[in-house]
Amino acid sequence: MYILNASFPQNIFVVHPQYFFISGLSGIPYSNYYYIFLFFIYIVAVIGNSIVLLIIAIDQSLHSPKYIGVFNLALADIGETNALIPNMMKTFLFESQYISYNACLANMFFVYFFNTIQCVSLVVLAFDRFVAICLPLRYHAIVNNAVMCSIFSILWILSTFLVGLTVSLVTRLSFCKSNEIQSYFCDHGPVYRMACNDNSVNSFMAKLNTAVYFAAPLIIFLSYLCIFFVLSKITTWEGRVKALKTCVSHLLLVGVCFLPIICTYIAAIMLSLSPNVRIISTSLAYAVPPMLNPIIYVLNTAEVKNFIQTVIKKKSASIDQGISN
């Protein structure tokens, strides 16, 4: 089919393959152990983020601007985990590496969409910490539940538009050379590069999405520069530590989310990584943060720990009362 279609003028026919073949993790020795690890990541991520969502929904004291951001981050974590890991395990563990054209585009959209929501959620949480520390007297005027809900509504809409436009532009491409995607999911870059007609618009959208992704840690870095500058003016060391403690969870989330993928990209540019090493590193960089994010918030956030301790005490008291009766 591809040989015949390649002989036609590229600006007349648009050829969409019935299936794509995902080859990214093929031929890796002992790969079954990696899929078992991915399954463990999936279970922990789904359960952990579901617990975070449930706690925030139940506990009235957590209905605050900061936890609206945490709620959106947990939603994005669950979404990305479900978009990425089950498909990876189905594709490679069960050797079902063919994916239909429409299913590929859907997979591409959801992985990139929820990853974008992760990034912007961390930026909004950085904004929350910036206002809380740098403008404490105006915090409740600038940041409140209505403002945070409006911000996230706008960001979800903009992310839907940006990612949806990126994916929809793939439909204008003609695939007359190959249908093999050299990645672990329907990755936008490997897909549009297979096109045999003009893909300059798709290349531009890929660069735009990359710029948006890397703008997030830059904005967070600048916000923390301002935060550290304000903290340096606090006269007592105890005051600095107390203010900085409110940022620890967020800083850990930022590090877990951005550092692995940034290091992977830098290593790929500076070193000649083999395709398998690059693909495994990138897949881990996308899969691990949703698992760690709820753990970080449970262990480092006093409000969440207090809620869990209260629930455990109530359950223990009710059990003891039942036994005594």
> Cα(42)–Cα(291) distance, rounded to whole angstroms?
7
Structure tokens at 42: 């999936």
- The 10 Å Cβ neighbour count of residue 86 is 13
Q: Which residues contact 101 (CB under 8 A, 6 or more apart)?
A: 16, 17, 18, 19, 20
Q: How far are the Cα atoms of 118, 181, 299, 306 from residue 293, in angstroms, in the given order?
A: 11, 30, 10, 18
- Tokens (6 digits) for 160: 């839907």
Gyration radius (Cα) of the chain, Å = 23
Domains detected in the chain: 18-315 (1.20.1070.10)
Instruction: Quote the CA–CA distance of 172 and 163 in Å, as a whole number.
Output: 16
- With a CB cutoff of 8 Å and minimum separation 6, the contacts of 304 are 52, 55, 62, 297, 298
- In degrees and rounded to multiples of 5, residue 137 shows phi and psi of -70, -20
Q: What's the pLDDT score for residue 321?
A: 63
Mean pLDDT by 10 residues, the chain (325 residues): 40 78 77 84 93 88 89 94 89 81 94 94 94 90 93 96 96 87 89 90 93 90 91 80 82 88 78 74 87 81 71 67 61
CB 29 within 8 A of CB 276: no
CB 163 within 8 A of CB 112: yes
The DSSP-derived string for 27-38 is T-TTHHHHHHHH
Q: Cβ distance 15 to 176 under 8 Å?
A: yes
CA angle 121, 123, 129 (to 5 degrees): 105
Residues contacting residue 171 through CB under 8 Å, at least 6 positions apart: 14, 16, 105
Cα distance between residue 117 and residue 156, in whole Å: 7
